[in-house]
Structure 1
């Protein structure tokens, strides 16, 4: 056995280096034959490596000289024999797995690659390697089972790549175990191997991956749907071994994600790829199961990825750089999923989505001894659930025809969301603006925060367009704007909170703009377009922020909003935004906008406390899919497409230029400023259109201050514009920022015009 092991070890080292093998392929197959019985492996025989100079018939086994080791059967104990046999099997599996990896690698020399391919084909033909691997997968030894599963997945992918018919034993094994859910380890083994094969297909750089996956899914398409129905119809309370159904559920969610990803990126159309969208309630029901928190967390994140079309993005980085064509059927399916989510919320199941339990920790759910567990909600689940609801609303509203229905549904669902969030955001001060919920929930996850902000902005813009199209009365529009504050989706409040969280630092905005890891560019452009049309409303909100901060004597960054008021309470809601027809307060109220335009609005003194800048984190890599909408209304389509391609191409070169960009951006404060020196006059527009009141007292004799919210935002835009100009001149900006600069220039012009009229 020692000599046998040494031969395999030498073969492993050669294959690992990608070296060309000189001997006949059949000789290597002999040592890789998994059909050797354990008894043959434990006889402790010395096997001499065959003469490599002699040419053997390809149909004959290599000549071996067997010499019995005297006294071997006496010296070796039975457990040592079993251990040696296991080590030998593990080494055989490792060599086969590495050999197939070398076949698929583009770095392997062509002659060595052909030799490895020839050995693998002979191995598949000369022995029942698939059946033997299936038996080993079911072995009680976990290490041997895992290596057998890896080796089987590699061989299956090799067969698909070489257009070799999959073995009937493997197909029967899968169909038998996935035809109906059972609490067996074989189900988990099948799912793991299927996932491994599909991942290998995704990672393959070849252009035939679509055809390869099509061949694979054709065999198992119906099997996957049957298993979906069987698994999600289980009753968790009746399971004898909950751990097995949890493992099966976690693995099947991974498989579903890969199936949906293949639909998006490889443009395949199988029923198993649509089964989630056809029967989404089956998956959503799991959120009501008395199951561990990490399962619900994974499920909610999976639904979030589906709604955002971000499934499988870690495997499809090359694919996301290609502008995919619209898929109407996929849009219909995603709408069905969004409707199912909202139907679940409408039925009151949101209250059953418990976010309590063990909080996720780095490296697991356990904390170090002596540190103690930190009580509190699961913020990962909280973020995912909030974004799922916001994205579902955005998707559903894109298919609405009645603005009144949109208003009613939006108010109902946002109220449910805020009630859901209220007890989970601590501490909770009964002050200020419900719109702060978004920055509070997503402060630790940039990509989700911007996706939620973009969804909220999209809903707001759609309702605005409907109001403009129907010519609604000013009073009705004013009432609707008030509702945007009460229900936490006013875009100006959300944007101001975002800027406050980053300390009004233009370099952080620049970092977001030059990175493809969030949808900030798309969101920022949409907001700047809105800001041009809604400048007066924006200023009025800035005024309220300053008034609240000045009156409360604290920085709004440190304030925590009252998310929503209990409808059963008879007390007056303490948050600042109230209806126009509400009773007169005992204290002074500051109007959101004066109905009398003859008296100009004045800036309120801002608190002198320092704004704390929060750390800027990065999120999962993703190129924006909607940059075709980046240009402003009068920009050419060609320029827009160039920007889209450039922002995707910049990902690889971003790290090389980041240091230069940061150095240049950091120097922006040393440059000459454009003309923002409004000490001599208020930073206010001439007119306003909103009509709301704030329940905060305001000190008389209000004066203008450069440290006000409005001034700091405008100055931040100025610094950002200056930094982009400098980077563009040095060819360091990763895409053409012409349209973005045009929008910032228009904002500057609006500001100059509004101040010049005073």
Structure 2
């Protein structure tokens, strides 16, 4: 005679394949009811089995006919029960889980799906299965507890989808455990189940998921704030090591809180529980400074970063949320409250008390072997997240501030605090001659965060510029203004040039950014190009400064050590531009030098010019120095290139296309539909004579001024190559959005450059 385990195993195999079931639905329900629940973790006795079967007998139809299985339910022998009770319960839960998954799958055949749905509905009506599953949360067998939680989560989601009223026993159980924090597995499972169900709702493609989520959250809305206060009132600071259950509760609740905030942003729901963090953010900042595990601090900091960037839910609900959001005034108010709390925490010494040093990551999570220890380094994830949090908080605050002087004072204070915090962790050390390099140094390994930070700093710069122009103070204090932007590391031209230098002026990397929906580069790039058109003179002056700095660095590299020491110890009468920019005592020094650089061509002798030219040429001609993310073929006739471009383009989502179109409209870029001609796209930046005499990809020295091979030339040359690549993609309908307005911006920069290089 077959055992109950074998019967369930056959049923599992059929459901796993999505096969249709022949027997009456009540017959299958009989086998799926978890009657052998073992709440204490001990093995069931024969009396337990008999009692369980009595329950089943009450639900069993008067006549049971299972020709497929050819077995009637019987009580197993005592020794058999001791070894297989847990396995039978696991198999029952697994069959229920797979059956619900098959119901929710679009690939399941219609008749099989209807049969599965009927079985689950009968199971829910004929038993209080939710109570049985919650009783398993305290089981000593962790696998059984986890399977019970997962099965219950799927049952709850099934009920929501089928518009079945949720069980009162489950709601009461959840309310009881969430209403007050306790270090219990029940709390963790409640939070996990709530999170799982909300994730499934986010993944739903139906138009009713907002109503479904509203129905699900309504019974628990007032409880989350109570739990928030109770959880964060735990005295972490008095504990040498927080308990695992406390940490688990905190991690689970943060994940749930992220989904609640995401549902507010993307599904336009309005519950009190979605505003808890914004109303009481100080609790979270207190936890960051307390002696808990480093990964918990990282989780909290990254969570705050996502909230400030309105990117909560991206990792958990990828592909189901839009990348563009309409204005939301209540959310703006809450973001301002969170930003103010961040700045207040920094004022109170958050950066001075926070330790970001930790162990090196080990493959597999183990310890470093003896004899191979290294000095612990900083956690760069925390460094990047904290930097972006502070910059973004300043941007949000300045959007609601009208005083230019107040903004400049606040920015200088917080930026000084941030740079003081970062400098000990940057190797090699951050030099004082151009503090704008801090951004590319901190974010070099994280493109999306780097571009978010660059965009925020650009927003701060534009806001300050507008306010200064409105008060007519910008023209009166031009020198002080230029010094302020460089001293505090937010000059937009320096930031963009450091970005280009880091990618080796490779236009294909910029193209990768433009066609990717994973960064905000399009929005940042459009805003910067519009600024560049108006502020070309300052950009050109800064480019000359970069040229001088690179030339001097090249001379120092080529010179011998003794000459270097002599230069350091000698009292030179000619001030270095590095020292000029880094001087904090003379606010006019930077502008004085840059004004001279703008009015006179660079003239450092033949040796310096040749060294500079060779350095530039080598940087551009070295194979593999700056590999592109995607190898785009420049030939219009290349089928292989077209195929690879199509594959890249096919991964872009429709929401990204909509967002980029709105981005163009937002920043006022011209929307003229007239396409640029191929001739205008491919026209060289400099005259044919100049191109004939010198190419940036050759080692030959130029006969004209150094600016043609300097940073400004390489920048506009990169723009020209980008134009050509975009045009070729547009011509083949492979570019993910209409780039005409972007091409016009790039073309305008080229025109400005050519005019500036044309002798009067």
Moved more, 169-178 or 24-33: 169-178
The separation in 1 between residues aligned to 2:587 and 2:269, in whole angstroms, is: 61
SS for the counterpart of 1:592 is: helix
* Higher RCO, Cα 8 Å, sep 6+: 1
> SS at 1:320's partner residue?
coil
Per-residue deviation, 1:538 = 0.7
1:197, distance to aligned residue in structure 2 (A): 1.1
Structure 1 pair 412/583, CA: closer, same or farther in 2 (3 Å)?
A: closer
Q: 2:662 aligns with which of 628, 653, 662?
A: 628
Matching residue of 1:118 = 118
Higher percent of residues as helix: 2
Distance 1:339 1:573 in 2: 38
Spell out, residue by residue over 1:496-521, the C-alpha distance to the aligned partner (whole angstroms, 9 max, x if none): 11011111111111111111111111
Map 1:43-442 → 2, pairs under 5 A: 59-60=61-62, 62=64, 65=72, 76=79, 81-238=81-238, 242-321=243-322, 323-360=324-361, 364=365, 366-367=367-368, 372-373=373-374, 375-428=376-429, 430=431, 432-442=433-443
Let me know the Cα RMSD of the aligned residues.
3.7
Q: Which residue of 1 aligns with 2:700?
A: none
Counterpart Cα distance in 1 of 2:579 and 2:62: 87
Q: Distance in 1 between matches of 2:409 and 2:693?
A: 39
1:608 corresponds, among 600, 605, 614, to: 614
**How far apart, CA to CA, are the structure 1 residues paired with 2:323 and 2:672?**
16
Q: CA deviation at 1:18?
A: 1.4
The count of corresponding residues between Structure 1 and Structure 2 is 679
* Counterpart Cα distance in 2 of 1:583 and 1:524: 30
| Cα 1:706–1:42 shift into 2, 3 Å | farther
1:497–1:679: structure 2 CA closer, same or farther, 3 Å change rule? same
Residue in 1 aligned with 2:569? none
Per-residue deviation, residues 74-110 of structure 1 (Å, max 9, x unmatched): xx4xxx6433111111100000011111111122122
Instruction: Answer whether contact 1:103 1:116 (CA < 8 A) is retained.
Output: yes
Deviations 1:230-273 (A, max 9, x none): 11111114458522211111111000000001111111000000
Maintained 8 Å contact 1:20/1:111:
yes
Which residue does 2:571 correspond to in 1? none
Q: Which residue number in structure 2 is paired with residue 712 of structure 1? A: 714
Tell whether the 8 Å contact from 1:30 to 1:62 is kept in structure 2 after alignment: no
**Change in CA separation of 1:16 and 1:757 when aligned onto 2, cut-off 3 Å:** same
Instruction: Report if aligned partners of 1:4, 1:46 keep a CA contact under 8 Å in 2.
Output: no
Q: For residue 133 of structure 1, report the CA deviation from its aligned partner.
A: 0.5
**Residues 1:20 and 2:20 are matched in the alignment:** yes
Compute the displacement of 1:199 (Å): 0.9
Change (3 A) 1:218 1:432: same
**Which residue of the partner structure matches residue 470 of structure 2?**
469
Deviation at 1:435, TM superposition (A): 0.8
List aligned pairs for 1:577-726, cutoff 5 A: 577-578=581-582, 582=586, 591-594=593-596, 599=600, 605=609, 606=612, 608-609=614-615, 610-611=618-619, 613=625, 628-631=662-665, 635=669, 673-675=684-686, 679=690, 704=706, 706-726=708-728
Cα–Cα, structure 1 residues 150 and 523, in superposed 2: closer, same or farther, change >3 Å?
same
**Distance in 2 between the 1:671 and 1:596 partners?**
29
Asked if the contact 1:45/1:67 (under 8 Å) is kept, the reply is: no
TM superposition shift of 1:151: 0.4
CA contact (8 A) 1:681 1:704 kept: no
List alignment gaps of at least 5 residues for structure 2. Answer: 51-57, 66-70, 558-575, 631-650, 695-702
Distance 1:671 1:681 in 2: 16
TM-score (norm 2): 0.82
Listed as ranges, the gaps of 5+ residues in structure 1 are: 48-55, 557-571, 641-667, 684-700
1-side partners of 2:660 and 2:416: how far apart?
A: 29
Matched with 1:757 is 759
Looking at structure 1, the residues matched to 47 and 613 of structure 2 have their Cα atoms a distance apart, in angstroms, of: 84
The normalised TM-score by structure 1 is 0.82
The 1:398–1:251 alpha-carbon spacing in structure 2 relative to 1, beyond 3 Å, is same
Per-residue deviation, residues 719-740 of structure 1 (Å, max 9, x unmatched) = 1111212222222222111001
Q: In structure 2, the residue corresponding to 1:399 is in which secondary structure?
A: coil
Distance 2:75 2:296 in 1: 55
Q: 1:348–1:553: structure 2 CA closer, same or farther, 3 Å change rule?
A: same
Equivalents in 1 of 2:349, 2:19: separation in Å?
64
